[in-house]
């Protein structure tokens, strides 16, 4: 008997959903950051087993939207939830259940889809705190299973995988063997650049960075198949442009170096990465700009 289907991760921002996706797939398919709203696409990671194929959907976190971008991110989550076989509700062990968690629990409670709760980041909490969190989570909704997990330490990740597979319907594989994600390479390249750009910047900046890959062109005469990648980073204000670029361009150079290493690992070829920072005034609130930037 072979099972196949989709499991969607839901939770407020920064609950470890992307890290858990990467741990289950055993490679990096979703960007991670300690900043909220890191994930903006429903990234799919694919877990291949002899008895099953589990397709993981890592959505943006539900939140109370303040901008048009925020509304569209919530729409992505709701659309995704209507198309999956299991919903995985994530709450971090090192932070008490709060209004954001209850907001998410209310959203998923009436779906009619099997619900699994995961208490993440158990490596950051004591056993007593984890127990308290498990009790708090159990009161939020009618969960089929509640599992404490540390994606970073690899604790109970395999157990979670088995539980999710057990809730999938019988069926053939949905993706070819070897596929780890269905994201286009250009989207993953853009996400890797955005991850590098988010690292270490001021708290207000992540919401304001959008990344577009303008060009990915192999050099036909290059002996190792070098790929020229041109990327544009969009911010909302001129002051933010200065933050991204840094003094004398030092920060942008550092972003480029770290992103290029990740992109080369993804593509398996050397890369020449050309980064440009542009201002798109208040793009999060402008429908035309949002369309242009892929939202």
The pLDDT value recorded for residue 201 is: 66
**For residues 30 and 40, what is the distance between their CA atoms, to the nearest angstrom?**
10
DSSP codes of every residue in 236-284 = SSHHHHHHHH-GGGHHHHHHHHHHHHHHHHHHTS-EEEEEEEEE-TTGG
Q: Is there a single domain that holds both residue 155 and residue 204?
A: no
DSSP codes of every residue in 38-54 = ---S-EEEEEE-SSEEE
Q: Is there a single domain that holds both residue 225 and residue 254?
A: yes
DSSP codes of every residue in 164-203 = HHHTSPB---SS-TT--B-S-HHHHHHHHHHHHHHTT--T
176 within domain boundaries? no
Q: Is there a single domain that holds both residue 156 and residue 193?
A: no
222 within domain boundaries? yes
The pLDDT value recorded for residue 253 is: 92
Number of domains in the chain: 2
Q: Is there a single domain that holds both residue 207 and residue 130?
A: no
Q: Of 102, 135, 166, which residue sits at a domain end?
A: 166
Q: Is there a single domain that holds both residue 190 and residue 258?
A: yes
Q: Is there a single domain that holds both residue 11 and residue 81?
A: yes
142 within domain boundaries? yes
Q: Is there a single domain that holds both residue 150 and residue 204?
A: no
- Residue 275: give its domain's CATH number: 3.30.300.20
173 within domain boundaries? no
pLDDT lower than 70: segments of the chain:
28-43, 59-66, 69-70, 74, 77-78, 181-184, 200-207, 294-295
177 within domain boundaries? no
Q: Is there a single domain that holds both residue 274 and residue 232?
A: yes
The pLDDT value recorded for residue 205 is: 60
Q: Is there a single domain that holds both residue 27 and residue 112?
A: yes
274: its two tokens? 């050309």
The pLDDT value recorded for residue 40 is: 44
DSSP codes of every residue in 94-109 = TS---HHHHHHHHHHH
With beta carbons less than 8 A apart as the criterion, state whether 133 and 140 touch: no
Q: Is there a single domain that holds both residue 156 and residue 209?
A: no
Own/partner contacts of 121-127, CB < 8 Å, gap of 24 or more, are 121/15, 121/16, 121/92, 121/93, 121/94, 121/150, 121/151, 121/152, 122/93, 122/148, 122/149, 122/150, 122/153, 122/155, 122/156, 123/150, 123/152, 123/153, 123/155, 124/92, 124/93, 124/94, 125/93, 125/94
Q: Of 102, 137, 166, which residue sits at a domain end?
A: 166
The domain in which residue 153 lies consists of: 3-166
**For residues 135 and 272, what is the distance between their CA atoms, to the nearest angstrom?**
51
Q: Is there a single domain that holds both residue 83 and residue 160?
A: yes
172 within domain boundaries? no
- Residue 77: give its domain's CATH number: 3.40.50.300
Q: Is there a single domain that holds both residue 14 and residue 152?
A: yes
């Amino acid at each position: 008997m072979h099972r196949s289907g989709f499991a969607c991760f839901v939770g407020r921002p920064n609950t470890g959903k992307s890290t858990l996706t990467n741990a289950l797939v055993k490679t990096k398919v979703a960007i991670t950051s300690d900043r909220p709203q890191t994930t903006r696409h429903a990234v799919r990671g694919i877990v291949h087993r002899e008895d099953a194929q589990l397709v993981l959907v890592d959505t943006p976190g539900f939140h109370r939207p303040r901008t048009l971008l925020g509304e569209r991110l919530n729409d992505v989550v709701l659309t995704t939830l209507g198309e999956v076989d299991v919903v995985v509700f994530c709450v971090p062990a090192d932070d008490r259940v709060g209004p954001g968690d209850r907001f998410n629990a209310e959203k998923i409670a009436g779906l009619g889809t099997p619900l699994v709760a995961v208490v993440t980041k158990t490596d950051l909490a004591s056993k007593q705190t984890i127990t308290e969190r498990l009790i708090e989570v159990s009161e939020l909704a009618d969960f089929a299973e509640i599992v404490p997990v540390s994606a970073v330490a690899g604790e109970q990740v395999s157990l979670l995988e088995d539980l999710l597979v057990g809730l999938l319907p019988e069926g053939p594989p949905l993706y070819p063997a070897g596929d780890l994600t269905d994201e286009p390479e250009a989207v993953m390249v853009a996400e890797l650049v955005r991850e590098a750009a988010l690292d270490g910047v001021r708290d207000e900046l992540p919401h304001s960075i959008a990344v577009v890959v303008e060009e990915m062109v192999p050099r036909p005469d290059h002996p190792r198949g070098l790929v020229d990648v041109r990327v544009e980073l969009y911010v909302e204000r001129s002051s933010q442009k200065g933050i991204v670029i840094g003094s004398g361009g030092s920060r942008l150079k550092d972003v480029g170096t770290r992103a290029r290493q990740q992109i080369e690992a993804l593509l398996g070829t050397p890369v020449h990465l050309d980064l440009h920072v542009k201002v798109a005034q208040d793009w999060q609130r402008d429908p035309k700009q949002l369309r242009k930037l892929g939202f």
